[in-house]
């Protein structure tokens, strides 16, 4: 049996401050198994367990909320401390439908040295469905490519290729 004969199970986790729009993004995109910390940020020990066996992380901030952007280095420290060094990380600025209330410029985000470790950076609007699928599909394609090349590190207790009927990506 070749790798093409398998479905894969990848763990993608959304992290970021409460209220930045993680749950809205997940609700708009249901083709993958995605873990949403859903406001549990105040329970750090619970959130940290989400990092275990994670293949990809989507670091999320609200473009209208300066505080959510200022907290990104703290989230990056958690990634460095609790996630695998091979985890793929993306950055998503949410709520671009509220651009008139923008508190974080795109230039400022691009100039952030710490955020350059992210595989990609984009802005979304769950309300208008702008760019909602892109971060998930980009990550799924990257993870699938790595799995097929046998370069994806499996951090879980079960093997990556698994028989079954997972949603097609």
98 compared with 147, residue with greater pLDDT: 98
Q: How confident is the model at residue 53 (pLDDT cuts 50, 70, 90)?
A: confident
pLDDT of residue 104: 93
Report angle CA 116, 80, 141 to the nearest 5 degrees. Answer: 60
| pTM for this model (two decimals) | 0.77
Lowest mean pLDDT among 24-28, 47-51, 151-155: 151-155
Average pLDDT over residues 53-62: 91
pLDDT of residue 158: 38
Average pLDDT over residues 15-39: 74
- Distance, in Å, from the CA atom of 169 to the CA atom of 31, rounded to the nearest integer, reads 7
Q: How confident is the model at residue 23 (pLDDT cuts 50, 70, 90)?
A: confident
- C-alpha separations of 24 from 41, 95, 122, 160 in Å: 16, 10, 16, 28
Nearest to 79 by CA among 144, 15, 11, 10: 15
Question: What string of DSSP letters covers 94-149?
Answer: E-GGGGGG--S-HHHHHH-GGGGGSSEEEE-BTTTTBSSHHHHHHHHHHHHHHHHT
pLDDT tens-place string over residues 79-120: 888 898 889 999 999 999 999 999 999 888 888 877 877 888
For the four alpha carbons of 37, 41, 42 and 45, in that order, the dihedral sign comes to positive
Helices (H) and strands (E) in the chain, counts: 6, 7
Order of strands, sheet of 120-123, starting from the edge strand that comes earlier in the sequence? 34-36, 12-15, 56-62, 88-94, 120-123
Residue 147 confidence (pLDDT) above 90: no
């Amino acid at each position: 049996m070749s790798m093409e004969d398998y479905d894969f199970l990848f763990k993608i986790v959304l992290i970021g401050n409460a209220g930045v729009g993680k749950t809205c993004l997940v609700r708009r995109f249901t083709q993958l198994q995605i873990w949403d910390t859903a406001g549990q940020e105040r329970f750090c020990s619970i959130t940290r367990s989400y990092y275990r066996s994670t293949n990809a992380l989507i670091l999320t901030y609200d473009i209208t909320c300066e505080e959510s952007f200022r907290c990104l280095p703290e989230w990056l420290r958690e990634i460095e401390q609790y996630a695998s060094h091979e985890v793929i990380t993306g950055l998503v600025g949410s709520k671009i439908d509220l651009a008139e209330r923008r508190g974080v410029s795109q230039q400022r985000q691009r100039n952030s040295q710490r955020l350059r470790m992210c595989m990609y950076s984009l802005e979304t609007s769950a309300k208008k469905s702008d760019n909602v699928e892109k971060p998930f599909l980009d990550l799924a394609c990257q993870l699938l490519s790595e799995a097929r090349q046998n370069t994806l590190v499996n951090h879980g207790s079960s093997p990556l290729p698994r028989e079954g009927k997972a949603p097609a990506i």
